[in-house]
Amino acid sequence: MTKHIFVTGGVVSSLGKGLTAASIGMLLEHRGLRVRMQKFDPYINVDPGTMSPYQHGEVYVLDDGAETDLDLGHYERFTNAPLTRNCNFTTGRIYLAVITKERHGDYLGETVQVIPHVTDEIKSAIRLLAADDVDVVITEIGGTVGDIEGLPFLEAIRQFALDIGKQNVLYIHLTLVPYLKAAGEAKTKPTQHSVGMLRQIGIQPDILICRTERPLGQKEREKIALFCNVEPRAVIEERDKEFSIYEVPLSLVNNKLDELIVEKLNLRAQPLDVSEWRQLLHRIQNPAHEVTIGVVGKYERLRDAYKSIHEALDHAGIALSARVVVRQIGSEQVVDEGPERLLSGLDGILVPGGFGERGIEGKIEAIRYARTKGVPFFGICLGMQCATIEFARNVLKLEGAHSTEFDKATPHPVICLLHEQQKVQDKGGTMRLGAYPCVLQPGSLAHQAYGCEQISERHRHRYELNNAYRSQLAAHGLVATGLSPDGKLVEVVELTGHPWFVAVQYHPEFKSKPTRPHPLFREFVRAALHRQEMRKRSPAGRSGEVAGRSTESVPVRTS
């Protein structure tokens, strides 16, 4: 029978509940258990697809096209659990299902209420992941205990233990134990209050994971245990990490969390083997190189907006024994201050995805800089579209070239709406979403990186490269090296004669893992290291100006 772990959070938000849930999943997998991961988000949007990154950070896209919470990115990076749209439910989606059923007449005669109708819908969402071949489902409840909007979820998980037996359910609560400098001690009261609130709802946590800045002393551990009604060994310390989020699972192992879970849920598990993970950490902690990548986007103060890109760059660095320093650069600043000042120290430039006109001209400027100075460039989605606009304007001399997303009346719509999007009115869940195949041109940089011709990558866009301009672009050096299998949609463009200039319509960042870096990120970072090496050798000779075919390419080693 499938067992269930529910992860809740208390005291404050942003404690890293997603990372902790993902780490638990990773540890259980390393004990030979088959795990599934799920997240509930208490907001009323049906999914995060229509939210601004300011509200929500990155929207993480799955193979099946679901637009989900960024915690699902952690789940995918830490575990092998397959993720589908059933792995992320919001209050909006639950209510939508309930109201649709009500209109259909499924509850005929009844008054439809939060309990039992909404809680039943939540419980059936949890049950969707239970199966004969699944040992443990880990369900994270978004938000903080005490939030009004989270109550139906907490009520549902309380009932769940009654439905399937408490012996099959484990409640793990993540809290904060702040250290007060003035008092010279760690404070347990916020944790007591947050657990008190959970107990009022009827949930007695089995395990407490305490985020702390400093080691948790025996005295504090015992106090928390006594006041919160858990065993002292079930008070687990999770200290702030020095180097990397990939330290979290190992620090939980040091606190014997895996053993405790296996024992409490009576799981048949193998001994823990985390040697691969330890090697990974060793590589993270002892890099041989350091490389600086500029991410030029419009959310320069919001790391979460480009979460998976940061992670994918880190993974590439791990593979190449390099610490990747990411400099987030505001694209509007590039216009205000000029590219030279902001971009000249970089080893590589990445322009990520995005929507809306703000900051577009700065992205185009940054790409022009990368193209003409021979700086390794990686464009992703909107980044690829901007690279096409830049090339059309500055190399093909098509004045006013633009995307119809930003200028409907442009004389040269080098980026235009996908045909299938022309009749789409609604904004929610209607983009070209999820995994689609792509065929790579033999010998291209992309082909060399992936090592195969057929790939599948995840998408989230409405616009595409306008095929009417494809041959003109190619004639001057911007070549489509990846296409949809029917040849109609450009998925990858590369600039001939440039050391490394690759731009893709899809989002490769969603498929990178610390133990399996994405090939394009790896080769981009390799090219950046190569440029750094060349510059060290001849600081003055900054790999000359590059434009289309005009300059010889600097050879880049690929693996």
Residues known to be catalytic: 381, 507, 509
Q: Which of 207, 478 has the CB closer to ligand GLN?
A: 478
- DSSP class of residue 216 equals P
The residue type found at 541 is: G
Residue 533 burial (CB count, 10 A): 12
Q: Which two tokens stand for residue 43?
A: 């907001």
- 3-class SS at 5? strand
Question: Could you tell me the smallest distance in angstroms from the CB atom of residue 53 to ligand GLN?
Answer: 11
Question: Could you tell me the smallest distance in angstroms from the CB atom of residue 70 to ligand GLN?
Answer: 14
Question: Could you tell me the smallest distance in angstroms from the CB atom of residue 281 to ligand GLN?
Answer: 32
Q: Which residue, among 63, 65, 64, 125, has the nearest Cα to 90 in the 3D structure?
A: 125
Letter string b/e over residues 136-165, b meaning 16 or more CB atoms within 10 A of that residue's CB: bbbbbbbbbbbeeebbbbbbbbbbbbeebe
Q: Which residue, among 131, 152, 172, 176, has the nearest Cα to 41 in the 3D structure?
A: 152
- Please state, in angstroms and rounded to a whole number, the distance separating the CA atoms of residues 293 and 33: 38
Q: Which of 16, 353 has the CB closer to ligand GLN?
A: 353
Q: Which of 256, 462 has the CB closer to ligand GLN?
A: 462
Q: Which of 58, 314 has the CB closer to ligand GLN?
A: 58
- Please state, in angstroms and rounded to a whole number, the distance separating the CA atoms of residues 467 and 465: 6
> Edge-to-edge strand order for the sheet containing 377-380?
322-330, 289-297, 348-351, 377-380, 501-504, 490-495, 478-483, 432-440, 454-461
Question: Could you tell me the smallest distance in angstroms from the CB atom of residue 414 to ligand GLN?
Answer: 13
Q: Which of 325, 417 has the CB closer to ligand GLN?
A: 417
Q: Which of 455, 489 has the CB closer to ligand GLN?
A: 489
Question: Could you tell me the smallest distance in angstroms from the CB atom of residue 253 to ligand GLN?
Answer: 37
- Structural contact between residues 463 and 498, judged by C-beta atoms closer than 8 angstroms: no
Question: Could you tell me the smallest distance in angstroms from the CB atom of residue 300 to ligand GLN?
Answer: 16
Spacing of C-alpha 187 from chain mean position: 33
Please measure the distance between the N-terminal and C-terminal CA atoms of the chain and give it in whole angstroms: 44
- Structural contact between residues 401 and 478, judged by C-beta atoms closer than 8 angstroms: no
Question: Could you tell me the smallest distance in angstroms from the CB atom of residue 354 to ligand GLN?
Answer: 5
Q: Which of 53, 330 has the CB closer to ligand GLN?
A: 53
Chain residues binding ligand GLN by CB under 6 A are: 353-355, 381-382, 405, 460-463
- Structural contact between residues 300 and 330, judged by C-beta atoms closer than 8 angstroms: yes
For 74-94, the three-class secondary structure string (H helix, E strand, C coil) is HHHHHCCCCCCHHHEEEHHHH
- Please state, in angstroms and rounded to a whole number, the distance separating the CA atoms of residues 455 and 440: 8
- Structural contact between residues 71 and 16, judged by C-beta atoms closer than 8 angstroms: no
- Structural contact between residues 88 and 69, judged by C-beta atoms closer than 8 angstroms: yes
Question: Could you tell me the smallest distance in angstroms from the CB atom of residue 293 to ligand GLN?
Answer: 18
